Structures are given as structure tokens and as C-alpha cells.
Amino acid sequence: MLRIYPVALDWLKAVRPLIAQIARYDGDLAKQLRRSSSSVILNLGEGMYSRGGHGLPCAIGLASSAAAFAAEQEMCGVLA
């Protein structure tokens, strides 16, 4: 198992309430954040057992994208 996998699961648990909060203001962005967050977990799961695949780099890219969405919403005042 990748050491980052449990960290990503904890992150997903923490971001779920933020997704609900964002959904009140921007449903499309909340859906995108939900999908990208799920993709992080799924790509890490795929990357754990692949050899030479692209699972881990893809998961890292999606994680940074999801973090950027959350930061953007915080700056716009949607997240307190």
C-alpha cells in the first residue's frame, strides 16, 4: 500500500463537509470537487499495484486541483 493512501482517505473525509458547503453556492463546482476528490482515491488505488503506470502522477495532479478549488472558494468567502 502507498503511504499516501491513508492520508488521502483522511483528506477526503475532511473535504466532504466543504463540498456540501460549496454546493449551496455553486453546485457545478461542488460536483467537480466531488469527482476530482474521488478520482484521487481511485487513481491512488490503481497506482498502488501498477508498474510504470500513470496512477500516482494523475492522483497528485487531481489532488492539487481539488485543493485549488477549495482555496478558491475560501478566498471567495464561500468557505469560512
d(CA 21, CA 29): 11
Burial 10-30 (b: 16+ CB within 10 A, else e): ebbeebeebbeebbeebeebb
- Is residue 31 very low, low, confident or very high in pLDDT (cuts 50, 70, 90)? very high
32 pLDDT higher than 80? yes
- Computed over its alpha carbons, how large is the radius of gyration of the chain? 13
Q: Give the pLDDT of residue 52.
A: 60
How would you class 49 by CB atoms within 10 Å of its CB: exposed for 0-12, middle for 13-18, buried for 19 or more?
A: exposed
Least Cα distance to 68 among 13, 9, 18 occurs for 18
71 pLDDT higher than 70? no
